[in-house]
Structure 1
Amino acid sequence: MKYLPIAQGLFVRNRRRFVKQLKPSSVAVFHSNDVMPTNADGTLPFRQSSDLFYLSGIDQEESILMLFPDAKDERMREVLFVRETNDQILTWEGYKLTKEQAREVSGIGSILWTHQFEQVLGSQLFEAEHIYLNTNEHLRAVVEVETRDARFIKKVKELYPLHKYERSAPILHQLRAVKSEQEVALIQQACDITEKAFRRLLGFISPGVMEYEIEAELYHEFLRNRSRGPAYAPIIASGGNACILHYTDNNQECEEGELVLMDFGAEYANYAADLTRTVPVSGKFTPRQREVYNSVLAVMKAATQMLVPGNTLGQYHKFVGTVMENELIRLGLLNEQDIRHQDPVNPLYKRYFMHGTSHHLGLDVHDVGNRFRPFEAGMVFTCEPGIYIREEGIGIRLEDDILITPQGPKNLMQHIPIEADAIERLMQQ
């Protein structure tokens, strides 16, 4: 891994918090992600299961975590299974974790080889009543590829049909939504790398540059700062492309007089940053572009102040909608009479602002969490309003990452330029 070692205390505490939520006499099992194939003998870069990483810190394929807090044999209360290596694997793939290294990373005392898992599990399940199984239960997940967790679920239910089965996801959604100080520091590191990349771009963007050239600059800055790369596919959208919310072709020329919307974030130690900035290709906003830009920024500032303990996403988005309506009226895009007669289920502002304002951020860009749960200190949310005027070729979105604290919102991207005057000044240097 490119990132620096993480103190094992983070993962020890995460496991301790998780097992406290289990029913008596329970075993919980977590599998690593697969190495995904491409074509022929090709594979995609490995990305660890967020849940397994959260509980163990292990960033290697073919790893399994078994937690059995009530095991009579103390050595079986936490067991980590890792891939046994050999000279051939070392020659063709490189170094894999030794048992000692896995113990140092995870803080788990009992380290065994992955091929020992089925035998050990069988011996322990005779003592257990409940088996906690893990699946991707993200609200927006579309899972079409069978995972190692899914294959295990089918097999274990066939072999042990009389046990009581439980879900790990609701517990992990509850725990992962609130970040510890160590996790916030890792997210901050991802944000700081993202800042370096953005500042690099301000001196690079000019008429004639290709969207993919901007994307290439991001990769350069990410990799040289210990990031594996982007936390998600970067959006580099110039001109009318900025009105396509998930535009990732990034293959057009940036032309004078246009805006370029850039939505990107570095990954660091599997934690994500998520930034959006929209800048003028020529280095100076037109009067209309600046007018729309300042409206988006006004909504963003108002929304950020609502990211406080006790608020809810429902109340928050209702407030943001009202602020956005006022800005769209000021821009001449809506009028008060139409708003008075609008369908409350489909408000008119959604013509120009059709996505949500915030989502959880952490090990996943759209991190897990219950949308009905009140905000709590330690949660990290994006704040990303936008206005998209297709007929004018203007799409502007601004986004920062906000930590909720007892004292109010803390912007983890507060040092990244965002005011229109600052953007113009830095681009023209």
Structure 2
Amino acid sequence: MKYEQINSELFKKNRKKFMAEMKPKSIAIFNSNDIYPISADSTMPFQQHRDILYLSGVDQEESILLLFPDAIDKKSREILFVRETNDHIAVWEGAKLDKNQATAVSGIESVYWLTDFDKIFFGLMTEAECIYFNTNEHYRQSVETQTREDRFILKCKNDFPAHRVAKSNPILQQIRGVKEIEEIKLIQYACDITEKGFRRVLKFIKPGIWEYELEAEYLHEFIRNRSKGFAYTPIIASGNNANVLHYIENNNQCKDGDLILMDVGAEYANYSSDMTRTIPVNGKFTKRQRQVYEAVLRVKNDATNMLVPGTLWADYHIEVGKLMTSELIGLGLLDKADVQNEDKDWPAYKKYFMHGTSHHMGLDTHDYGELKTPMKPNMVFTVEPGIYIPDEKMGIRLEDDVVITEEGTPFNLMRNIPIEVEEIEDLMNT
């Protein structure tokens, strides 16, 4: 791993929060992700399952976490199983965690080799009455691949048909959505790396540059600052490409007079950042570009101020829609008749701003977190309004990552990343 080892106290706190919500006499199991094949002997780079990472800090394949707070033997209340390393693995892949290292990373004293799992698990299941399965219930999930968790669940249901079943996901949605201070610092670090990438790119952009060249500049800066790279597939969209919300080809040339929308973020220690900036290819906004840009910026700033404890996500989006409607009328894109005759299920402003304003941020770019209950301090949200005008070959989105605070004043983790028109133009032209 490129990142500095995280203090195991974070993972101890996370496990304590999870186990406090478990039913009596229950076991919870968390599996690492598979390593996914490409073809022949090629595989995709390993990405750890965020849930086992959140609860243990272990960032390697073929690991299992077992939590059983009511186990008779105290040593069996938290158990970590890791792949046994050997000289052959060390030569070909690099050494894996040994038992002492696994304890140092996770704070778990009981560490066994993965080959011991079936025997130990069977013995503990004779004490347990219920097992928590870790299913993916994120509101945006659309996974079709059978995962390591899926295979474990099928086997467990077959081997232990008399046990009751519970779901880990509701607990994880609750606790992962509210960040510990250590997590906010890691997200801040990822945002700081993103800032370095953006400032680098500002000096690099000019008419004739290719979108993929800008992607390469970001990646260079991210990796040299101990990031694995992008937290998600980057969007580098010049001209009319910005009106394709998930444009990821990044293969067009940037033309004089166009804007370029860049939705990019560095990861650090598996924590994400998520930034969008839209800037002029030639370093100078036209009058119309600036007019639309500043409308988006006003919506972003006003939406940010709504991220306070007690806010309901659904109500928040309605209020942001009202702000955007007002701005679109001011820009001449909507008139009062459009609003009066709008479909309440698809308001008039959706013609130019069709996506949501905010989502949870953390270990996942679209992170776990409750959405139907009031917002809480230490939740981290993006704020990302946009206006998309295909007829004008212009798409503008601005996005920052924001922490909800106890005091009620949102804290912008991207406060140092240039966003004002004058600052961007000055940096591009000096």
The aligned residue for residue 341 of structure 1 is: 341
Q: Which runs of 5+ in 2 are unaligned?
A: none
The aligned residue for residue 412 of structure 1 is: 413
Contact 2:86–2:95 (8 Å) recurs in 1: no
Offset at 1:343?
Answer: 1.3
Give the partner amino acid of 1:185.
Answer: K
The aligned residue for residue 272 of structure 2 is: 272
SS at match of 1:356: coil
Give the partner amino acid of 1:289.
Answer: Q
Give the partner amino acid of 1:10.
Answer: L
TM-score of the aligned structures, taking structure 1 as reference length: 0.99
Q: How does 1:140-159 map to 2 (within 5 A)?
A: 140-159=140-159
| 1:220 to 2:220 alignment | yes
| 1:352 to 2:352 alignment | yes
Aligned-residue CA RMSD (Å): 0.6
Offset at 1:397?
Answer: 0.2
Give the partner amino acid of 1:258.
Answer: D
Offset at 1:271?
Answer: 0.3
Offset at 1:115?
Answer: 1.1
How far does the alpha carbon of each residue in 1:170-196 deviate from its partner, in whole angstroms, 9 at most, with x for none?
000000000000000000000000000
Q: How does 1:1-80 map to 2 (within 5 A)?
A: 1-80=1-80
Offset at 1:315?
Answer: 1.1
SS at match of 1:283: coil
SS at match of 2:38: coil
The aligned residue for residue 189 of structure 1 is: 189
C-alpha separation in 1, matches of 2:334 and 2:230: 37
The aligned residue for residue 304 of structure 1 is: 304
Give the partner amino acid of 1:400.
Answer: D
Offset at 1:19?
Answer: 0.4
C-alpha separation in 2, matches of 1:8 and 1:383: 31
Q: Which runs of 5+ in 1 are unaligned?
A: none
C-alpha separation in 2, matches of 1:196 and 1:168: 37
The aligned residue for residue 115 of structure 2 is: 115
C-alpha separation in 1, matches of 2:340 and 2:411: 35
Offset at 1:88?
Answer: 1.2
Give the partner amino acid of 1:328.
Answer: L
C-alpha separation in 2, matches of 1:373 and 1:193: 32
C-alpha separation in 1, matches of 2:54 and 2:158: 28
Q: How does 1:227-246 map to 2 (within 5 A)?
A: 227-246=227-246
Offset at 1:344?
Answer: 1.3
Q: How does 1:373-388 map to 2 (within 5 A)?
A: 373-388=373-388
C-alpha separation in 1, matches of 2:203 and 2:112: 51
Give the partner amino acid of 1:348.
Answer: A
SS at match of 1:172: helix
Contact 2:381–2:403 (8 Å) recurs in 1: yes
- Size of the aligned set, in residue pairs, is 429
C-alpha separation in 2, matches of 1:12 and 1:286: 53
Give the partner amino acid of 1:72.
Answer: I
Offset at 1:403?
Answer: 0.2
SS at match of 2:277: strand
| 1:201 to 2:198 alignment | no
| 1:428 to 2:425 alignment | no
C-alpha separation in 1, matches of 2:410 and 2:11: 26
How far does the alpha carbon of each residue in 1:209-244 deviate from its partner, in whole angstroms, 9 at most, with x for none?
000000000110000001011000000000000000
The aligned residue for residue 392 of structure 2 is: 392
Offset at 1:67?
Answer: 0.5
C-alpha separation in 2, matches of 1:157 and 1:110: 26
The aligned residue for residue 135 of structure 1 is: 135
TM-score of the aligned structures, taking structure 2 as reference length: 0.99
Runs (4+) off by over 4 Å = none
Identity of aligned residues (%): 58
C-alpha separation in 1, matches of 2:345 and 2:149: 38
Offset at 1:370?
Answer: 2.2
C-alpha separation in 2, matches of 1:338 and 1:355: 19
